[in-house]
């Protein structure tokens, strides 16, 4: 039996571990904490079937000026931290050119198309409770008709090219669908095919339970203790003692480049920080998650309260939290729904692990046979984990992959 250590028990690692185990591998899944307590815990919980095109960097002068002058709330940056981001941001900018973005999107759409079906397979096997997941989409509020018109044109193109389902809602239709809203602006787009999860960390934990029930081993350990054996294979220290395997999967999300540096790879990652905080709802709240397109945040009904998740923040690697975007988002949301006190005393902070070409890294490390990589899922790792985990397991097992793996090859960024 082939054996593998999967490092990282976020959505990417747990899903890869399950798919490998189901193909006959003996799998040890190792994390320094509990499964699904980091980035896969803190997100907006949307399984984004509509996200067939990854988010490019804006290239028009008006959008860039809006970011540069701090007028928008989608993106914020600390001026002093920018030099540390500039290399990966320039590459991101280059890959965001329309023709390159079209090529990237063709590959991305292939895995996004599998996302809900591949989640469903794991949800059924895990016995995920019905009230954890909704299959009714989410909505995107627009305050200006011009912006809603522009986004409707985009939505129509996504429907034509990729079959993405959406409906444009008038202010009256939005008010009927969300009676808790105090303002409905110009209306909304309702993305119909996406699913929403009321506790993202609980879904990862349910998949991790399934992994154990199906015979997998879940261990505590520090990935930094990973070492290559001179004759091939790898060893790792865990809380339960040393572990050895012929293969390793690195699924450490935003921490992946740190480990790979130890193996001689410098991986440029676009590190987009994001915050969340839950609020008590005093009125009717929201039925489905709502993205406020003018203020760049998502308000998602969760088990713990109404969760606001923010857009991207570029700060120093270890910079303390500065939840400026969260403050603006909270003020905007208070104009839309009756919101009570925050649930937590301090907001949650995490990092989206984005690659400069917006595609995750899936495949074998260029110079280390047996070292497999599964990270860099950016804005949609919660969505993509099961689909890309399947792709990785197929490649490792020598099966015909469900989609062409070439665009995801590690050699793009692991040099």
Is 356 an interacting residue with respect to ligand FAD (CB under 6 A)?
Answer: no
Give residues 44-63 in contact with ligand FAD (rule: CB under 6 A).
44-46, 48
CA-CA distances (angstroms) from residue 303 to 7, 72, 197, 201, 343? Answer: 28, 29, 9, 11, 12
CA distance 218 to 34: 9
Nearer to ligand FAD, 12 or 126 (CB): 12
Counting Cα atoms < 13 Å in the Cβ hemisphere of 368 gives 26
How many Å apart are CA 410 and CA 161, to the nearest integer? Answer: 28
- In angstroms, the Cα distances linking 89 to 95, 156, 268 are 10, 29, 9
403 touching ligand FAD, by CB under 6 A: no
The reply to whether 89 sits near ligand FAD by the rule CB under 6 A is no
Residue-by-residue DSSP string for 77-122: E-GGGHHHHHHHHHHHHHHTSHHHHHHHHHHHHHHHTTHHHHHHHH
Residue from 117, 13, 122, 19 nearest 397 by CA: 19
Chain centroid offset of residue 186 CA: 29
* Interior/surface letters 284-322, b for 16+ CB within 10 angstroms, e for the rest: ebbebbbbbbbbbbbbbbbeebbbbbbbbbbbeeeeeee
For residue 106, what are its two tokens?
A: 């063709």
CA 322-323-328 angle, to 5 degrees, is 135
Q: Least distance in Å: CB of 146 to ligand FAD? A: 26
Site mask for ligand FAD (CB under 6 A), range 104-143, x = bound: ----------------------------------------
Q: Tell me if 193 contacts ligand FAD by CB under 6 A.
A: no
If one asks whether residue 32 binds ligand FAD (CB under 6 A), the answer comes out as yes
Rank residues 148 and 312 by Cβ distance to ligand FAD and give the closer one: 312
Among 223, 329, 393, 396, interactor with ligand FAD by CB under 6 A: 223
Neighbouring-strand partners of residue 197: 133
Contact between 368 and ligand FAD by CB under 6 A: the answer reads no
Q: Which is nearer to ligand FAD, 31 or 357 (CB)?
A: 31
Does 74 bind ligand FAD (CB under 6 A)? Our answer is no
As a whole number of angstroms, the distance between CA 4 and CA 370 comes to 9
Of 5, 188, 252, 371, the one binding ligand FAD by CB under 6 A: 252
**One residue of 209, 222, 287, 294 binding ligand FAD per CB under 6 A:** 222
Among 21, 43, 73, 88, binds ligand FAD (CB under 6 A): 43
Tell me the window of 89-97, 98-106, 170-178, 348-356 that interacts with ligand FAD (CB under 6 A).
348-356
Shorter beta-carbon distance to ligand FAD: residue 36 or 187 = 36
Of 138, 386, 372, 105, residue with least CA distance to 252 = 372
Indicate which single residue of 6, 10, 29, 295 sits in contact with ligand FAD (rule: CB under 6 A): 10
Which region, judged by CB under 6 A, interacts with ligand FAD, from 20-28, 65-73, 373-381, 394-402?
A: 373-381
- In the bound state with ligand FAD, the residue whose beta carbon lies nearer, of 183 and 377, is 377
Residue 12 binding ligand FAD, by CB under 6 A: yes
Measured from the CB of residue 265, what is the shortest distance to ligand FAD in angstroms? 16
Least distance (Å) between residue 214 CB and ligand FAD? 19
In the sheet that holds 26-31, the strands lie side by side as: 217-220, 26-31, 3-7, 247-250, 371-375, 361-364
- State the binding string over 288-317 for ligand FAD (x if CB under 6 A, else -): ---------------------x--------
Candidates 20, 29, 42, 392; binder of ligand FAD (CB under 6 A) is: 42
Specify whether the backbone of 166 is left (phi greater than 0), alpha (psi in -120 to 50) or beta. beta
Q: Taking contact as CB under 6 A, which single stretch among the options 43-51, 140-148, 150-158, 184-192 is the one that binds ligand FAD?
A: 43-51
Q: How distant, in Å, are the alpha carbons of 49, 254, 270, 318, 400 from that of 321?
A: 31, 17, 18, 9, 44
User: Please, which residue, 173 or 222, has the CB nearer to ligand FAD?
Assistant: 222
For ligand FAD, which is the closer residue by CB, 48 or 96?
Answer: 48
What is the largest distance, in Å, between two alpha-carbon atoms of the chain? Answer: 68
> Binding residues for ligand FAD, per CB under 6 A?
8-13, 31-33, 38-40, 42-46, 48, 222-224, 251-255, 274, 276, 309, 350, 352-353, 375, 377-383
């Amino acid at each position: 039996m082939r054996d593998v250590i999967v490092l990282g028990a976020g959505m990417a690692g747990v899903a890869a571990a399950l798919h490998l185990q189901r193909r006959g591998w003996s799998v040890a899944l190792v994390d320094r904490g509990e499964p699904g307590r980091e980035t896969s815990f803190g997100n907006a919980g949307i399984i984004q079937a509509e996200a067939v095109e990854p988010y490019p960097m804006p290239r028009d002068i008006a959008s860039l000026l809006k970011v540069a002058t701090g007028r928008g709330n989608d993106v914020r940056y600390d001026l002093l931290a920018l030099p540390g981001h500039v290399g990966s941001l320039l590459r991101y900018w280059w890959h965001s050119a329309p023709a390159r973005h079209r090529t990237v999107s063709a590959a991305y759409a292939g895995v996004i198309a599998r996302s809900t079906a591949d989640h469903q397979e794991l949800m059924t096997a895990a016995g995920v409770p019905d009230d954890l997941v909704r299959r009714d989409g989410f909505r995107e509020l627009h305050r200006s008709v011009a912006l809603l018109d522009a986004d409707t044109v985009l939505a129509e193109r996504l429907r034509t090219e990729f079959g993405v389902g959406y409906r444009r809602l008038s202010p009256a239709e939005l008010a009927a669908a969300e009676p808790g809203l105090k303002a409905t602006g110009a209306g909304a787009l309702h993305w119909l095919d996406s699913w929403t999860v009321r506790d993202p960390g609980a879904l990862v934990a349910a998949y991790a339970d399934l992994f154990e029930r199906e015979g997998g081993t879940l261990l505590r350990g520090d990935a930094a203790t990973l070492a290559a054996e001179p004759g091939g294979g790898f060893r790792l220290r865990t809380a339960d003692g040393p572990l050895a395997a012929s293969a390793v999967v690195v699924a450490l999300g935003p921490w992946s480049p740190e480990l790979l540096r130890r193996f001689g790879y410098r991986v440029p990652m676009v590190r987009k920080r994001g915050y969340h905080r839950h609020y008590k709802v005093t009125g009717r709240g929201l039925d489905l998650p709502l993205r406020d397109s003018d203020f760049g945040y998502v308000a998602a009904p969760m088990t713990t309260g109404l969760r606001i998740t923010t857009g991207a923040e570029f700060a120093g690697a270890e910079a303390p939290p500065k939840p400026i975007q969260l403050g603006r988002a909270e003020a905007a949301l208070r104009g839309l729904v009756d919101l009570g006190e925050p649930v937590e005393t301090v907001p949650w902070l995490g990092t989206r692990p984005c690659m400069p070409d917006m595609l995750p890294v899936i495949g074998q490390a260029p110079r280390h046979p047996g070292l497999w990589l599964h990270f860099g899922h950016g804005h949609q790792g919660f969505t993509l984990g099961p689909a890309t985990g399947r792709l990785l397991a197929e490649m490792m097992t020598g099966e015909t992959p469900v989609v062409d793996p070439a665009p995801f090859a590690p050699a793009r960024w692991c040099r």
